[in-house]
Structure 1
Amino acid sequence: MNAAQSWIVVADDAAATGLVEVARTLGTEVVAVVAGRRAVAEAVAGVVDRVLWLGEPGTAPVEAFAPDVARLVAEAAPRAVVGATTPGGRALLGAVGAALRSPVLAGVERVELAGDDVVVTRSVLGGISQHRTAVAGGPAVLAVDAGAAVAVSDTAAAVEEVAATPLPAQVVEVRPTTVAGVDLGAARVVVGVGRGLKAREDVALISGLAGALGGEVACSRPLAEGVDWLPKDRYIGISGQRVSPELYVAVGISGQLQHMVGVREAKVIVAVNSDKAAPVFAQCDYGIVGDLYQVVPALTAALGGTA
């Protein structure tokens, strides 16, 4: 194993600079292997020490370069290989893991060194639990969220083109999808409602509060998949959407883990519930114990909205 190097695997759909931050924590030289357009390779050149580029993909999908990426990484045997949790990133990391006979550790939130071991803290079971895993005796293959940013160096690494033999596959058609629902992930304010609501028509109360706050309406799973009072794309939880708003208001939501996992990145959580023993009060920043049918209209009116 080459303990002096960590590699990042970059596909067209990955924000490469976020991967560099993880690789840098290991105190090694960072090498990027890029399966994508030259523009991607040039963009990452400012944040790594070396760039290996597999050439213009043309109509070949990222997955077609998986054997080439796996071969290069296996030959180098770096301390760690870091890729993004995107479709392209997962495809490339799977091939790398197979070539190195190493498991791919997903949901990585923290990476550190303990002697010669790479120690990884990762989120499992939809965020309900965290596991701390030590990888010894071989490269650690890590799938991480690539959203972080890294300072760009004034001196960019040279882009080295490497001969590649992609698999005989090509993209024959691209069909854009139409998103019918709302992107809760982009909302600065989200008001979520749960089983404390008594009737479908009462969703209007929640909409009024959300409107007064300039936010979006969301719900717990029972309201979307049980009684169908709200569309499924508004359901927040382990198997639903995950949000990170500036403000999340939980109305009539008990605060079970399955739901709260979806809002754990919220900056501020406010809870409204008539049950003072509801678990949500142990997980919020501000709590109001009271009947939502009295509290919500009062809040809406105080904000200048219409209940």
Structure 2
Amino acid sequence: MEWDWAVGGITDEIPRTTGPECINYMTDRRRWTETALLSALFIYIMHGNWKRLAPIRLPPAHEIQKSHSPMRLFLLISMSFVFGIEMGFKLAGGSMIFALNPCHVQTCLQIYLLAAKPTKTTTALFRIQMSNLNGPFLAFVFPEVEGRTYPFEQATYWIQHALLYIIPIYILRSGAYTIEDLGDFKWVKIGTAFMLFYHFLLLSPLSILTGINLDHMLCAALSDPFQGQNYRLFACCHQALLCPLLSKGTVLLFGSGKSRCNENGVHNNVGGGRETYTPPGSEHVLYHQLPPQQEYVTTETMTGEYTMPTTKID
């Protein structure tokens, strides 16, 4: 069969993976209704917060241009190696459809972030994925390794999810990408809404059509304390609380002055050099829009020299 590489090895030997119990856990009508309504809600949340984002401030030019450190290269190679092994296991077991689970998508994103140079786009991606640290956290609290029978397959599970949390901490400490102010929750709302939107727009329909429980969108896990018809609604609520807690808590504990911005979106350059001037009213410019270029004019005052920024019109 042409799809054996993706779904051929998935059986109901592991409870709540597939099979009649999982498929009949709730009605398809209920699943499709939740998918449509919640997807619309998440789009509304993302769009509303996207319009109010402060402009992204990049690190100083010398930080952007410098070559990757040995530690960054080590993490890049390690995560790429572990991810390659994990995909090999999935191909060998005929379960490649599980590569769509969020932790594997986040793995690909972190590999890209480690390899890329800081830009406004990569910084936005980093801030969004900071709201998806619930994946590795829940993987350790509620591990699911029963179906991993190949040698080293369970070890790969633990190493991959550990790296998913270690890499954001390293990036925060290195200052490669800036992070928004601790009191700014717009990026957290976008990241959390996008994560839930991904579940309901992609994983939920695929689960319904294939009968395979992708990231528990078809039926609740046995370890889920919110069993029953409303388990997906409960999941939206407790993840909407957990994601900001993990994101902001990680920044508070491990963020450095290099990576943090002040409440106006200005990069805190603790390493020296001139900080970026933020003109009044630019706080609500979309992240990819550049504020007017500034020139600095020095004037004499009674108490000495004063440097005033003026707008340069191109």
RCO greater where, 1 or 2, for CA within 8 Å and sep 6 or more? 2
**TM-score between the two structures when normalised by the length of structure 1:** 0.21
> Which structure has more helix as a fraction of its residues?
2
**TM-score between the two structures when normalised by the length of structure 2:** 0.20
